Amino acid sequence: MAHPDDAELWAGGTLALHAEHGVTVTIAVASHDPTRDAEATAGADILGAEIRSLPELTAETVADLMRHLRPEVVITHTTADAHPDHHNASRTVLAALPDVVINTGHPLRVYGCETYNGLTLDGTTQPQTIIDISDTYATKTQALHAHRSQPITDHFGPMAENLARLWGARIGTTYAEAFTPIPVLGRLPATHHL
């Protein structure tokens, strides 16, 4: 992720949901300053995740981490994200992927997460993978507020609520988060039943 609060903003409910089901969740983010790094750790704690602070977000540091962790799933930004830092983080993960996948078989699946108000440079986010986070929405909100130096109450909080309600409405629930599968060497995630 590009910024210390991106994990909470775009995927916090989903990470908390997976953590609750016993999945090991690790959040990798570029180190910023001591204040924001501490906020990232606090937020990750609330989600039930471990933070990995990378000195720099490069294809090498990301590849090293993936080789070490061998994750089943990686969540990053999409290349169509309108925020340049998100775009660059996505490109960095994509650059690290092929070698790691060929050598370790991991990750099995990669997803790009939602962006500001469901908008990318190419238009609106196409909803493909929508996760019901009604059960972990309170946890997501709490983790988001751990980023005290950021304008959560005025800016990111209401945006996150709007989006969670929109995606929730699209699957007939209260709150949800949305993801887009990213092909890995030409492979997409399978669905197990309709």
One of 64, 104, 118, 135 touching its own copies (CB under 8 A) = 118
Beta bridge partners of 160: none
CB of 163 to its own copies, least distance (A): 7
Tell whether omega for the bond before 107 is within 30 degrees of 0, i.e. cis: yes
Total number of residues shown for the chain:
194
CB of 16 to its own copies, least distance (A): 12
One of 122, 148, 149, 153 touching its own copies (CB under 8 A) = 122
One of 37, 64, 85, 135 touching its own copies (CB under 8 A) = 85
Residue 22 contacts its own copies per CB under 8 A: no
Q: What whole-number distance in Å separates Cα of residue 62 and Cα of residue 158? A: 31
CB of 184 to its own copies, least distance (A): 8
Give 57-108 as a DSSP string: --HHHHHHHHHHH--SEEEE--TTBSSHHHHHHHHHHHHHHHHHHHHH---S
One of 1, 12, 13, 14 touching its own copies (CB under 8 A) = 14
Reduced to 3 states (helix: H, G, I; strand: E, B; else coil), residue 52 is strand
Nearer to its own copies, 34 or 193 (CB): 193
Residue appearing with tokens 């570029």? 30
DSSP 184: B
Reduced to 3 states (helix: H, G, I; strand: E, B; else coil), residue 51 is strand
**Residues of span 29-68 touching its own copies by CB under 8 A:** none
Q: What whole-number distance in Å separates Cα of residue 98 and Cα of residue 47? A: 29
Residue 101 contacts its own copies per CB under 8 A: no
CB of 119 to its own copies, least distance (A): 4
Residue 80 contacts its own copies per CB under 8 A: yes
Q: Of the ranges 32-40, 45-53, 62-70, 76-84, which one interacts with its own copies (CB under 8 A)? A: 76-84
Q: At what angle are helices 137-145 and 157-170 packed, to 10 degrees?
A: 160
Residues that bind its own copies in the complex, under the rule CB under 8 A: 14, 17-18, 21, 23, 73, 75, 79-80, 82-85, 87, 91, 94-95, 97-98, 109, 111, 115-132, 158-159, 162-163, 165-166, 169-173, 176, 179, 182-194
